[in-house]
C-alpha cells in the first residue's frame, strides 16, 4: 500500500527526505513521515496498534 501523506501533519510526501516505513511494533501499518516532522522529532502513532514513536 502506498502512503502519500505524513501521518503527523498530513502533508504530502513528495519532498526529499520523506520516509515511508512499516510500523516497528505491528509491522502492518505503513507510516509516512515528512522531512520537517522527522527533523523536529514529531511523534507518530500507529492507528492499528497504538504504538507511538519519535
Binding footprint of Zn ion on the chain (CB under 5 A): 6, 8-9, 11, 23, 25-26, 29, 34, 37, 46, 48-49, 51
CB of 14 to Zn ion, least distance (A): 12
Residue closer to Zn ion by CB (options 4, 9) is: 9
Minimum gap (Å) between residue 24 Cβ and Zn ion? 8
Whole-angstrom CA distances from 52 to 15, 16, 23, 34, 42 are: 23, 24, 9, 16, 10
Amino acid at each position: 500500500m502506498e502512503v502519500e501523506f505524513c501521518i503527523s501533519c498530513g502533508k504530502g510526501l513528495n519532498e526529499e527526505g520523506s520516509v515511508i516505513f512499516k510500523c516497528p511494533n505491528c509491522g502492518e501499518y505503513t507510516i509516512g513521515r515528512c522531512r520537517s516532522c522527522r527533523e523536529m522529532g514529531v511523534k507518530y502513532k500507529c492507528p492499528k496498534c497504538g504504538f507511538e514513536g519519535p
